[in-house]
């Protein structure tokens, strides 16, 4: 058996290729949209990809099933409850997909979504008629999608908008996790679709694989409890879902356009870039917060490429508008690909050599105020104290503390909570280190807030101010 995990740090997303080396047949599970890496690996090993399985309709990225099928002729498989615009193979509970000596067994594990499945991987199955279901041998592993994470379970509250309640999904998830997945042998490896940092759960581990036994012993959601307790514990304290999740969940059902890496957006002359911007395109500036602060186009939104770029872009940018890209030098294609991974395909073009280009259109360029923690502290004691806005999660505030009197609006909620902010007072935003605060401050300026700054170094810098001088501060 060949088994590979492909992990995208930016989206905390894992996809998999499983193949039988004897027959050369391979299946890819939960592929991302830029599929060249899977195809190159298959070609290098002489595999033909016969099938693509999505464990569920993903909300946090656009899956690459259509791209894989177009390039390989593979069938596209989902749980039997899935309804799509494109042809699919509906996979039923207990169904066996044979790839030579390797067998994939479908387990229905609804709860994160109604159509969610897990995939049990059997390394060898006997050639006579006794079905794998007999399980004389322990399965190699289980691909759990978003049903079971390492240290967590998939949140059951993302589909409220589509008429399935968190209570209904929570009850399904209880059965899937506690009765189905926990019935597997302890030695079975667990391979989830997401890791730490994903907004698909609240407590995900940085580990990339685990075992059923380890989860049974350490995962809060796998401990024995009643259904009511389970639903209460897994729905509490979930982070705000980024704005693009609903858009992607719908897009994954649609017969949408394919991602074409060769059809990259073109470089635009500064004058044309400015014209497109005037016509309504939104400028996303992917340079670092310091470069952005030093000089950027008026109204542009800063989403630094060095970070959770796709997720944060999807949080603060509209999905249905034309985008213009200002990227760090020679990273334009990377930025465009990362936008495409969440279905943001309407990139009209980009600025080549941003430093020179910005000089050429100096009348459209502005800078951003970034304040030291000490200056903010002094301003708070002055005559017209600013309103401090904390963009961190509830968990971060609980663990590290917070600035007294700060308004708490996590970055994921900021776009829909702008009305809560005063327009007649100075605003100072902060996060943990100064990355998200640059994003948030640029969004507020785009929406017409005039006096907006952020704290250099974030809450970590603020905490150092109040730490005893002779003790090294914990950051």
**What's the pLDDT tens digit per position in 166-196?**
888 999 999 999 999 999 999 999 999 998 7
Q: Average pLDDT in the 95-99 region?
A: 97
The confidence score (pLDDT) of residue 205 equals 78
Q: What is the CA radius of gyration of the chain?
A: 24
The confidence score (pLDDT) of residue 128 equals 40
Band of pLDDT at residue 468, cut at 50, 70 and 90:
low
Q: Average pLDDT in the 411-418 region?
A: 94
- Which one of 129-138, 348-357, 369-378 scores highest in mean pLDDT? 369-378
Say yes or no to pLDDT of 466 above 80. no
Say yes or no to pLDDT of 30 above 80. yes
Band of pLDDT at residue 125, cut at 50, 70 and 90:
low
Kind of pairing, strands 407-408 and 387-390?
parallel
Say yes or no to pLDDT of 135 above 80. no
- Taking Cα atoms as reference points, which of 167, 271, 270, 182 lies closest to residue 221? 182
Q: What is the pTM assigned to this prediction?
A: 0.92
Locus of tokens 């016509």: 279
- Which residues, including other chains, have CB under 8 Å from residue 181's CB and lie 6 or more apart? 107, 109, 118, 142, 144, 147, 148, 212
Q: Average pLDDT in the 278-292 region?
A: 96
**Above pLDDT 90, what percent of the chain?**
80
Higher pLDDT, 202 or 94: 94
The confidence score (pLDDT) of residue 136 equals 53
- Taking Cα atoms as reference points, which of 8, 114, 104 lies closest to residue 56? 114
The confidence score (pLDDT) of residue 22 equals 96
Band of pLDDT at residue 475, cut at 50, 70 and 90:
very low
Say yes or no to pLDDT of 130 above 50. no
Say yes or no to pLDDT of 127 above 70. no
Q: Which of 67-71, 165-169, 194-198, 387-391 has the lowest mean pLDDT?
A: 194-198
- Which residues, including other chains, have CB under 8 Å from residue 23's CB and lie 6 or more apart? 99, 100, 101
Q: Return the axis-axis angle of helices 309-316 and 436-446, rounded to nearest 10°.
A: 30
Q: Average pLDDT in the 99-119 region?
A: 96
Say yes or no to pLDDT of 223 above 50. yes
Angle 283-286-288 from CA coordinates, rounded to 5°: 130
- Which CB contacts under 8 angstroms, 24+ apart, belong to 227-231? 227/170, 227/171, 227/174, 230/170, 230/173, 230/174, 230/177, 230/178, 231/156, 231/166, 231/167, 231/170, 231/171, 231/174
- Which one of 64-68, 192-196, 362-366, 464-468 scores highest in mean pLDDT? 64-68
Higher pLDDT, 266 or 24: 24
Higher pLDDT, 128 or 456: 456
């Amino acid at each position: 058996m060949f088994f590979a995990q492909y992990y995208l740090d930016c989206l905390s997303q894992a996809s998999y290729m499983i193949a039988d080396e004897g027959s050369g047949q391979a299946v890819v599970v939960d592929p991302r949209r830029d599929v060249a890496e899977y195809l190159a690996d298959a070609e290098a090993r002489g595999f033909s990809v016969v099938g693509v399985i999505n464990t569920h309709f993903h909300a946090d990225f656009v899956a690459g099933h259509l791209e894989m099928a177009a390039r390989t002729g593979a069938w596209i498989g989902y749980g039997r409850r899935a309804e799509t615009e494109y042809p699919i193979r509906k996979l039923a509970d207990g169904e066996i997909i044979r790839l030579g000596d390797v067998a994939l067994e479908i387990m229905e594990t609804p709860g994160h979504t109604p159509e969610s499945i897990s995939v049990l991987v059997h390394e060898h199955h006997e050639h006579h008629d006794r079905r794998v279901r007999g399980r004389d041998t322990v399965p190699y592993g289980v691909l759990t999608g978003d049903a079971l994470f390492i240290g967590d379970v998939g949140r059951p509250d993302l589909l409220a908008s589509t008429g399935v309640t968190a209570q209904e999904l929570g009850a399904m998830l209880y059965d899937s996790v506690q009765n189905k997945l926990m019935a597997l042998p302890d030695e079975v490896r667990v391979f989830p679709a997401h890791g730490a940092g994903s907004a698909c759960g609240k407590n995900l581990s940085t580990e990339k694989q685990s075992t059923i036994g380890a989860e049974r012993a350490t995962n809060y959601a796998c401990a024995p409890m009643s259904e009511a307790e389970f639903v209460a514990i897994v729905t509490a304290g979930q982070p705000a879902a980024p704005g693009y999740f609903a858009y992607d969940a719908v897009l994954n059902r649609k017969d949408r356009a394919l991602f074409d890496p060769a059809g990259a957006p073109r470089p635009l002359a500064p004058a044309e870039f400015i014209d497109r911007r005037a016509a309504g395109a939104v400028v996303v500036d992917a340079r670092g917060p310091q470069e952005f602060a030093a000089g950027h186009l008026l109204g542009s939104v800063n989403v630094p490429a060095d970070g959770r770029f796709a997720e944060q872009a999807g949080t603060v940018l509209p999905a249905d508008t034309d985008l213009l890209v200002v990227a760090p030098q020679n990273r334009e294609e990377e930025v465009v690909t990362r936008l495409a991974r969440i279905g943001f395909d309407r990139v009209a073009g980009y600025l080549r050599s941003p430093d020179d280009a910005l000089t050429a259109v100096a009348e459209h360029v502005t800078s951003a105020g970034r304040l030291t923690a000490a200056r903010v502290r002094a301003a708070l004691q002055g005559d017209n104290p600013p309103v401090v806005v904390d963009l961190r999660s509830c968990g971060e505030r609980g663990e590290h503390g917070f600035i007294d009197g700060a308004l708490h609006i996590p970055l994921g909620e900021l776009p829909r909570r702008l009305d809560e902010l005063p327009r007649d007072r100075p605003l100072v935003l902060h996060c943990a280190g100064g990355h998200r605060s640059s994003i948030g401050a640029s969004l507020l300026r785009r929406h017409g807030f005039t006096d907006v700054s952020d704290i250099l170094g974030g809450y970590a810098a603020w905490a150092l101010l109040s730490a005893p001088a002779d003790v090294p501060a914990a950051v």
